[in-house]
Amino acid sequence: MDLAEFSSDVTGMYPAKVVRYADVAKDAGLKFTTGGPGSTRDLTMLIAKNVTAGRLVAGFTYSDPGNWTSWPPHEHAEMLEELYVYFDMPEPAYGIQLVYNDTEYPELVTVVRDGDAVLMPSGYHPNVSVPGHRIAFLWAMAAHREVEDRQFGVVNIQPGFQQGGSGLETGRK
């Protein structure tokens, strides 16, 4: 078993809730496939509109082998910061993670493997898996403003890549 723990301070009180994957899997707004050629991935939202919470939103993403995820390149630093924890990527699988506010001077370009974590306080953050292998990661986002900024799928797409939307709109329904 792998265990990831993350938290974010809140001032409000929110009820504890058990979230069962079987229940999430039945909701097309919480578990869906998005993207297109070269960027198809399965997205599952575990802590989202189904949970009353102050700042956290979390889930996981699996790509098709060799595909990009977090595509088109997008960011949401005005509202949320994000963390990826990579899992279920046995050797020799790996991916490439980019984080940048300016394409000329990226803040991060790195290889990611099973067990790695990448924090994205700001910036566009696409990643890609190597051919023949998928990329998989747990993602967790913390809203800057409690409740108000806790919104999934509200993103700023990198200029030049806006055609077709973000693919995350399904999670807002």
What is the tens place of the pLDDT at every residue in 25-74? 999 999 999 999 999 999 999 999 999 999 999 999 999 999 999 999 99
Q: How is residue 12 written in tokens?
A: 């409000």
**16 in a structural domain:** no
Whether 63 and 134 have beta carbons less than 8 Å apart is answered as yes
Whether 164 and 84 have beta carbons less than 8 Å apart is answered as no
**39 in a structural domain:** yes
**173 in a structural domain:** no
**45 in a structural domain:** yes
In whole angstroms, how far apart are CA 58 and each of 21, 29, 83, 107, 146?
13, 14, 9, 24, 15
pLDDT score of 173 more than 60: no
What total of structural domains would you count in the chain? 1
**149 in a structural domain:** yes
Q: Which DSSP string do the residues of 107-144 spell out, in sequence order?
A: SEEEEE-TT-EEEESSSB--EEEPTT---EEEEEEEES
Q: What domain range is 31 assigned to?
A: 21-156
**152 in a structural domain:** yes
